[in-house]
């Protein structure tokens, strides 16, 4: 180079006798007395040593323009290589060009125009964040729990119910980033925004709910209503946040009246128990009574059907006899007489007596049902007259045919 071969210095000043670049005389022995402190190292020597070090790394015969070009290429290469960046699996890359949002990049190795043109922010979009409302717990508490020492914040937890009662509610809001660009640029403090929206919606939902329902069976419904309402507000703000869950940690009356409310809850539990017992008794006896009633109705129906059938049979039999009598009166009258006598004599003892006998002697009842027991004297029944067998009307003297 020119200033390395005894030529003019790079600042355009001659360098006679190997002097400094500004034309000063070459360095000599220190001036002044021996008792004083000498000056520092000469600037020309420092520059010369730096030139020799660079000369050892560069090919001979090169000029200053080539050196500057190589140095520029090296700097440009380093600057261009600084545009590579890595996005972790649970992150999303947000690229900003001159401070304005430009695009998002997926996880993996990506490239951007190096600084100062483009910059990258990598928020964790899969992480579930938590905001506590009504209480403050330890920051390292596991998600979904309320462990460790907590401190109630009454200004956030005390709410007015629909029946004008005060209830103390502590709940947690779980959320994650849904749109990274909206999350970074549309809200100044996303966590405070989520907290304020959730508290506002919770007060609105509790304001139209009865205290007894809020303390017992309506908790799941309240959580769902608050989650939907909070998500609607954040979508209106374009906050880029998704509410994953609302978890009510505590729902109690104020501490001053909690004992009275517990007594009321115990009374309600007893009422429900007695009601369930009454329901079980009703469910047991009513089907039984219904079954008994159905059985009685079925029996009455069967008896009615049997009587109707018997009556119809008797009527049919009478009609059949009447028809037979109409066709043959003599034969029918004889058959009826014989059937009637057979029915009468079947139920009575028969005594056959000769009609020429002048008197009837007493007799012993020799039937099985009237046989006297051993050791007893048989009782002699009074004389029984034998039934007089009469001929059918057709055979009587003077009977009409």
- With a CB cutoff of 8 Å and minimum separation 6, the contacts of 272 are none
Percent of the chain with pLDDT over 70: 70
The pLDDT confidence band at residue 146, using thresholds 50, 70 and 90, is low
Tell me the pLDDT tens digit for each residue of 333-358. Answer: 888 888 888 888 888 776 776 677 66
Question: Taking CA 123 as the corner, what is the angle to CA 120 and CA 125, rounded to the nearest 5 degrees?
Answer: 135
Cα radius of gyration (the chain): 62
Residue 147 pLDDT more than 90?
A: no
Neighbouring CB atoms inside 10 A of 67's CB total: 14
Of 149-153, 203-207, 222-226, 349-353, the range with the lowest mean pLDDT is 349-353
Residue 7's pLDDT is: 43
Q: Which of the pair, 33 or 308, is modelled with greater confidence?
A: 308
Tell me what the pLDDT averaged over the chain comes to: 75
Please give the average per-residue pLDDT across 43-47, as a whole number: 73
CATH number of 129-253: 3.30.479.30
Residue 228's pLDDT is: 93
Provide the angle, in degrees to the nearest 10, between the axes of the packed helices 190-207 and 219-237: 140
Confirm if 63 and 1 have CB atoms less than 8 A apart: yes
Structure tokens at 259: 């004992």
Of 24-33, 133-142, 161-170, 328-337, the range with the lowest mean pLDDT is 24-33
Of 41-45, 113-117, 338-342, 392-396, the range with the lowest mean pLDDT is 392-396
Domain boundaries, the chain: 84-121, 129-253
Measured between alpha carbons, how far is 38 from 16 in angstroms, rounded to an integer? Answer: 25
Taking the CA atoms of 152, 155, 156 and 160 in sequence, report the sign of the dihedral they define.
positive
Q: Which of the pair, 390 or 131, is modelled with greater confidence?
A: 131
Q: Which of the pair, 347 or 170, is modelled with greater confidence?
A: 170
Tell me the pLDDT tens digit for each residue of 199-211. Answer: 999 999 999 888 8
Buried b (16+ CB within 10 A) or exposed e, 363-393: eeeeeeeeeeeeeeeeeeeeeeeeeeeeeee
Structure tokens at 223: 């959580």
Measured between alpha carbons, how far is 193 from 172 in angstroms, rounded to an integer? Answer: 14
Residue 304's pLDDT is: 93
Helix (H, G, I), strand (E, B) or coil at 207: helix
Tell me the pLDDT tens digit for each residue of 266-320. Answer: 888 899 999 999 999 999 999 999 999 999 999 999 999 999 999 999 999 888 8
């Amino acid at each position: 180079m020119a200033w390395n071969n005894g030529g003019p210095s790079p600042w355009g000043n001659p360098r006679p006798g190997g002097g400094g670049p500004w034309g000063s005389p070459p360095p000599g022995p220190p001036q002044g007395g021996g008792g004083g402190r000498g000056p520092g190292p000469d600037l020309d020597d420092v520059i010369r040593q730096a030139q020799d070090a660079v000369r050892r790394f560069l090919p001979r015969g090169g000029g200053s323009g080539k050196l500057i070009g190589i140095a520029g290429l090296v700097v440009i290469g380093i600057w261009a290589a600084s545009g590579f960046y890595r996005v972790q699996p649970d992150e999303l890359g947000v690229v900003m060009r001159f401070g304005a949002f430009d695009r998002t990049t997926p996880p993996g190795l990506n490239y951007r125009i190096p600084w100062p043109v483009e910059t990258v922010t990598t928020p964790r979009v899969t992480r579930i964040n938590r905001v506590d409302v009504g209480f403050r717990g330890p920051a390292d508490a596991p998600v979904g729990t309320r462990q460790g020492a907590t401190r109630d914040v009454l200004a956030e937890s005390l709410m007015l119910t629909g029946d004008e009662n005060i209830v103390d509610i502590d709940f947690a809001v779980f959320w994650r980033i849904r749109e990274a660009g909206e999350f970074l640029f549309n809200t100044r403090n996303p966590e405070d925004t989520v907290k304020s929206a959730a508290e506002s919606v919770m007060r609105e939902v509790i304001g139209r709910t009865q205290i007894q329902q809020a303390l017992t069976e309506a908790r799941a419904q309240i959580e769902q209503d608050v989650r939907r309402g909070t998500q609607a507000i954040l979508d209106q703000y374009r906050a880029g946040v998704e509410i994953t869950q609302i978890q009510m940690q505590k729902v109690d009356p104020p501490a001053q009246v909690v004992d009275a409310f517990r007594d009321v809850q115990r009374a309600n539990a007893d009422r429900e128990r007695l009601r369930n017992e009454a329901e079980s008794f009703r469910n047991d006896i009513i089907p039984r009574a219904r079954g008994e009633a159905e059985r009685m109705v079925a029996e009455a129906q069967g008896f009615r059907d049997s009587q109707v059938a018997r009556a119809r049979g008797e009527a049919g039999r009478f009609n059949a006899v009447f028809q037979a009598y109409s066709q043959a009166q003599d034969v029918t009258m004889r058959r009826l007489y014989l059937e009637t006598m057979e029915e009468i004599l079947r139920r009575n003892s028969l005594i056959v007596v000769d009609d020429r006998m002048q008197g009837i002697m007493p007799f012993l009842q020799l039937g099985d049902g009237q046989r006297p027991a051993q050791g007893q004297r048989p009782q002699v029944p009074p004389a029984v007259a034998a039934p007089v067998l009469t001929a059918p009307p057709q055979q009587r003297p003077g009977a009409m045919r």
